[in-house]
Structure 1
Amino acid sequence: MSVNSVTHLNFRGDAQAALTFYQSVFGGQVVAITYKDAGNVQNPAEADQVMWGQVAADSGFHVMAYDVPSRLPWNQGENAFFVSLRGDTAEEVTAYWEKLSEGANVQQPLGPAQWAPLYGMLTDRFGVTWVVDVVSDYS
């Protein structure tokens, strides 16, 4: 038996744009089912928002997302979570970093750290905070 843990991000109207952006960074396929597609429209203004979506890439990257309907409470919070992105090489991590950093707020520029050959932290244009590093003996 095996189990996978997949990050599931919640948005308020930005899920499709976020999934498309993450696909541009990591590659893979976007699958998105809208409330209209699922026959579950409770608010006509939200019919084209994402009820279930994901990006899955051959590299193993996998993230899910949906738009929280307006009838439900939602608050993205502050420092509620980080998505950790770890790679085996500096080249791999740097390529993802450069794409994720477009329109982002960089808290810690990508560079050497005591615990990793490269480490950086940014909040992307959708409000998701990423900690990015190269795997080392310490991590």
Structure 2
Amino acid sequence: MQLVSYLFFKDNAAEAFDFYARCLGGQIAMKVTMGDMSGDAAPPATRHLIAHVRLQVGDAVLMGSDWCNPDSGPYPGIHGNAVSLSVDQPQEAERLFAALSDGAQVSMPMAETQWALRFGMLTDRYGAMWMVNCNRPA
């Protein structure tokens, strides 16, 4: 089993996932638009929206889409969760935090904590919350 975070965006999932691929050093393994799924059946204004995107970073996966289903109500935003990154080296934690911080709101600056050599939290420019962690050796 693999647990995977899935993020919903308001019309900018493609831009967000391209940003995450650059920041995290990953590859977009799949990107399907509403137009790809429904062809001419999709309203022209929604054909560019992302129905599903998959980012592969080593063995890790992050998935998402735009909020495309009007029957699900208005876009609720991304809230109540965070994507947590855990790395082995403090320098890598610093690098990831700096990359994701571009246009972000930092809620906890990168610092040493009781449990970590480095830990920081931010909400990125797309509204997703991130926690970057470099644990202390056991």
TM-score (structure 2 length as normaliser): 0.89
Residue in structure 2 matched with residue 61 of structure 1 by the alignment = 60
Residue in structure 1 matched with residue 31 of structure 2 by the alignment = 32
Q: How does 1:1-139 map to 2 (within 5 A)?
A: 3-30=1-28, 31-39=30-38, 41-58=41-58, 60-69=59-68, 71=70, 72-73=72-73, 74-76=75-77, 79-136=79-136
Indicate the structure with greater helix content.
Answer: 2
Runs of 4+ in 1 over 4 A off after TM superposition: none
What is the alpha-carbon distance in structure 1 between the residues aligned to residue 111 and residue 135 of structure 2?
13
Distance 1:102 1:119, change over 3 A: same
**Secondary structure of the structure 2 residue equivalent to 1:125:** coil
Q: Which whole-Å deviations, capped at 9, do the CAs of 1:9-51 have from their partners, x for residues lacking one?
A: 0012010011100001112221210011112644321111100
Q: Percent identity?
A: 29
Q: Which runs of 5+ in 1 are unaligned?
A: none
The question of whether the paired residues in 1 share the 8 Å contact of 2:115 and 2:135 is answered with no
Q: Which runs of 5+ in 2 are unaligned?
A: none
**Secondary structure of the structure 1 residue equivalent to 2:35:** coil
CA RMSD of aligned residues (A): 1.7
What is the alpha-carbon distance in structure 2 between the residues aligned to residue 103 and residue 24 of structure 1?
14
The question of whether the paired residues in 2 share the 8 Å contact of 1:53 and 1:66 is answered with yes
What amino acid sits opposite 2:49 in the alignment?
A: Q
Q: Which whole-Å deviations, capped at 9, do the CAs of 1:85-137 have from their partners, x for residues lacking one?
A: 11111011111111001110011110111121111111000001111111235
What is the alpha-carbon distance in structure 1 between the residues aligned to residue 97 and residue 10 of structure 2?
25
